[in-house]
Chains A and B, each alone.
Chain A
């Protein structure tokens, strides 16, 4: 009985520590250091979309969503925009790598009814960017996918953003945006606002 009680307590401790660590991790994951977000396209008016149940994935969890938003913080965050707050970064990150920020989307998803080849345009107010991807079908020169994405297919891209000290101290480092384009005619399919808030001199 004593051994069983001890086991239950140990298991409960493992569970609680994991959940607490997960809450801490999520706070940084979505808002400050390693910001993952979703991108849906097309979302601009006049284009035919799949139903929410057909789209599936994380978006199907939210009954309030009647049509896919352009994207947003992936893990239970607000949909429709991405806001990065540098003042919420952990002290370890601030100490070791204050000048880098990772933006990441592994869910650039075709929610339309047509197959498309896409191009990406990341406007982050002139900040130095490095594009990194798991995709084999990516033309880094033209910033275009070299494969056709069927309805429901996802694409992924990470951006390592370099933040100079003087920019980090501003209230708003950048009010930028990610635009998903049709690679064939360069027409915009979705625009996702991305705002980076600085430390404001703190």
Chain B
């Protein structure tokens, strides 16, 4: 788990380098490719405005003239169709920052949401609200933007305080909700991503579609091996695992935390066509008592420190082709 966490931290740093000034490698590439006269920062690849413009045909020409605006509605869903939600789970710094910092906050201070609320309908409702908002006398995309807030924080860390000079009431609300109320103070630290991110909603739908047809990888639970402890349900940062437990592919961000948290090694990542609902044989619904104790056990005893447990790394199979597990842990019944 430590190595996995380290990879997540590295991914956060890579994401900051890719999206945010002063490095902003992707915006820089876009500026270079399009000859844009604007400075390279995260605003060149806006993940919000294009969705609001979807129902404003007079803005289509602007999107074509400034191709950075086409990335969120076109390129990201196509990528997600094939790769799954890698942007959400691994590269998006705005989500990863609160998730990783949230791990430092004691669990007793956090609200546990996983398994109690399916975030997908809320997020789709927010996306629909964003698209309809201009027609109903509102404006959401720039007023509640955690991506801009993240850029302001990154710039401040590099000594440029311009973004923090002039706050607005909605900026303050965005910061408090994104960073604290739905960040550090909820289990998983990604409440904003799970409920309020329009790009996440579209990427989630594309990923779910990709997983359904066998293009994108997805997370699968082996119900024969699952003992229903509820650890995955409780600890999933994306709140994507129900109490049954089943993985909601439209909410899962493919962070793969569950693979390392499951004490039974019953969860794996596969790239295979979904053929319908898994058989009920052997399914063990999450018992509330076991769920709490399982989560508590995970806190007290991370799986990698359990005595006698074989080193899972040495048992990793070769990355598989379609229909075979990409990553399998011991006791999955695969690769043994």
Contact = CB atoms under 8 A, between A and B. Distances in A.
B167 A96 contact: yes
Contacts, number: 154
A127 interface: no
Given A34-B168, A97-B167, A160-B166, A7 B121 contact: yes
A67 interface: no
Interface of B: 37-39, 41, 43, 56, 58-59, 61-62, 117-118, 120-126, 128-130, 132-134, 136-140, 142-144, 162, 165-173, 195
26 contacts: A10-B117, A10-B121, A10-B122, A11-B125, A14-B124, A14-B195, A15-B125, A15-B129, A18-B126, A18-B140, A21-B140, A21-B170, A22-B138, A22-B139, A22-B143, A25-B138, A26-B139, A29-B139, A29-B143, A29-B168, A34-B143, A34-B170, A56-B62, A92-B172, A96-B172, A137-B37
Given A22-B140, A34-B143, 11 more contacts: A14-B123, A14-B195, A15-B132, A18-B125, A19-B132, A19-B138, A21-B144, A26-B139, A33-B168, A34-B166, A75-B134
Interface size class of A (residues with CB under 8 A): 35 or more
A157 to B, nearest CB: 12
Contacts of A89: 169
Which 10 pairs from chain A and chain B are nearest by CB? A22-B138, A14-B125, A18-B129, A90-B169, A25-B143, A11-B125, A22-B133, A26-B139, A11-B121, A102-B166
Given A21-B144, A93-B172, A147 B37 contact: yes
Contact of B38 (A7, A29, A134): A134
Interface string A110-143: 0000000000000000000010101111000000
Interface string A146-168: 01000000001000100000000
Contact of B168 (A91, A93, A135): A93
B58 A56 contact: yes
Interface stretch (A40-48, A57-65, A182-190, A193-201): A57-65
